[in-house]
Structure 1
Amino acid sequence: MKTQKIALITGGSKGIGKAIALELAKEQYTVWLNYLTDHNGAKETQNIIEQNGGSCKLLPFDVSNLGECQQSLSHLLEEETPFALINNAGFSRDGILAMMSEEDWTKVINVHLNGFYNLTATVLPFMLRKRRGRIVNISSTSGETGVGGQVNYSAAKAGLIGATRSLAVEVAKRNILVNAVAPGFIDTEMTKNLPKEQILPSIPLGRFGTPEEVAQVVAFLCSEKNSYLTGQVLSVNGGIYT
């Protein structure tokens, strides 16, 4: 019997993370689903996966805390190694830099960039031993072009792009492919209060994207169909930044 591959997804209780979890479950991955506080959302995602015959393990911990990451994953990693790691956990605290608190700067950087380090540094040694794996970092259009009021978020997402490219070079010889996906305006809780009537004219496709459209790109990057694409940023943005 063929052993199912494992996908570890951070921030998987809602939005893009949830869509990625559901998509990879369809592709026969066993899902390790991380979240912080949204237990109801995580449980709902788990229920959907299990009702469709899949397997989903819930892992509540703070990605910005290295100790929590190691404590939550160490016993699992001794038994099994994820084939795919999707660093998706994130949030925004928008505001102009001149009035931004140190807390708003630090928390955004900690979750996105330190979270990337904490998860990847914990999982990567096991992938290296297996000589295979896929790492996908969820960046943003904000990390590719300047966005007023998002200096902290843009810095974090741009940092993920740089980390993606460098790590891809480091681990390519071990058959581990590292890529980033940069969503634009996607219909999620994070964008629900944005003024769509002002934003839509700037999007060539004339609409917000769906979490599922992002998830399908992630699924491709995690699949065996992707055997030669690494160190790249795939922008899922409806043409808003080309």
Structure 2
Amino acid sequence: MDLGIAGRKAIVCASSKGLGRACAEALAAAGCHVVINGRDTATLTATAEAIRAAGGAATAVAADVSTPEGQQRLVAACPDADILVNNNAGPPPASYTTLDREKILRGVTQNMVTPIELVQALAPGMAERGFGRIVNITSASVLTPLEGLDLSSGARAGLTAFLAGVARQLAPRGVTVNHILPGAFATDRLTGIMRGAAEAAGRDAAAVARERAAAIPVGRFGEPDEFGKLCAFLCSAHAGYITGQNFLIDGGAFRAAF
């Protein structure tokens, strides 16, 4: 399917690896010029080179998107972005009893304040030009609590609620705002979480991974490429009638009829 976005410009935050990279690759394959971002220069450069080798166009911006300086560098690299994919690392798993004010504020800044600030910076220009696609990568934990991810869940749920009204304000101007809620995907973050859980329980990490995959109805972890293609569709010319929605992609792990 031709997504109708060839020649569009996209900023994809935290996209040197994992789900962010998958989104950048899918958008580049659809003909977008992607501005990718990460803190590790070597990893970021390798990702940009891989996108170019596959025939895509990519600009790499090494920066921490959580900081005002990092956001300024991203926006300066593409001030007239047509597409914004908000993504950022979540706080590490931790009991709510161990979270102090500084940790809570850092988590909320990463997963709520930062994407809001980027929407503020880029959505007005999208509205002026009459086209825009904003996709926020949140988490399945917005819908169902996951022990130890309380801070991440709370910050991402706050972002979802904040942008619910904003999505309706932007809709008449051709700008859509949607959220993708990933479940368990085969990424470095998931591997790290499972390794930590295995160590804490004195168990083999591979066994823990097999058990967790078996608990998902489709019997496996998601592949980042699957996630990226969903993101690209929501950014496409065909998704203009979809806004203010949450798309759960978790292999059926969240058990609900609605």
* 1:150-190, Cα deviation, whole Å (9 max, x unpaired): 11011112123213322211100101011000000000000
CA shift for structure 1 position 129: 1.2
Q: 1:69 touches 1:119 (CA, 8 Å); kept in 2?
A: yes
CA shift for structure 1 position 67: 4.3
Matched, 1:26 2:29: yes
Match for residue 242 of structure 2?
229
User: 1 CA distance for matches of 2:114 and 2:62?
Assistant: 14
Q: 1:86 touches 1:138 (CA, 8 Å); kept in 2?
A: yes
What is the correspondence of 1:146-161 to structure 2 with a 5 Å cutoff?
146-161=145-160
Amino acid at match of 1:90: A
Matched, 1:209 2:222: yes
Q: 1:90 touches 1:108 (CA, 8 Å); kept in 2?
A: no
User: 2 CA distance for matches of 1:140 and 1:166?
Assistant: 20
CA shift for structure 1 position 225: 1.5
Match for residue 18 of structure 2?
15
* 1:115-135, Cα deviation, whole Å (9 max, x unpaired): 102211111121121121000
Match for residue 65 of structure 1?
67
Amino acid at match of 1:174: R
CA shift for structure 1 position 61: 2.3
Q: 1:4 touches 1:28 (CA, 8 Å); kept in 2?
A: yes
CA shift for structure 1 position 38: 1.4
Q: 2:9 touches 2:78 (CA, 8 Å); kept in 1?
A: no
State the SS of the aligned residue for 1:192: helix
Amino acid at match of 2:95: I
Matched, 1:218 2:199: no
CA shift for structure 1 position 104: 2.9
How does the TM-score come out when normalised to structure 1? 0.92
Amino acid at match of 1:18: R
What is the correspondence of 1:126-145 to structure 2 with a 5 Å cutoff?
126-145=125-144
Match for residue 170 of structure 1?
169
| Structure 1 stretches lacking a partner, 5+ long | none
Percentage of pairs with the same residue: 29
User: 2 CA distance for matches of 1:184 and 1:218?
Assistant: 15
State the SS of the aligned residue for 2:36: strand
Q: 2:63 touches 2:73 (CA, 8 Å); kept in 1?
A: no
* 1:39-74, Cα deviation, whole Å (9 max, x unpaired): 111111110111122211112222222344235424
Aligned pair count? 237
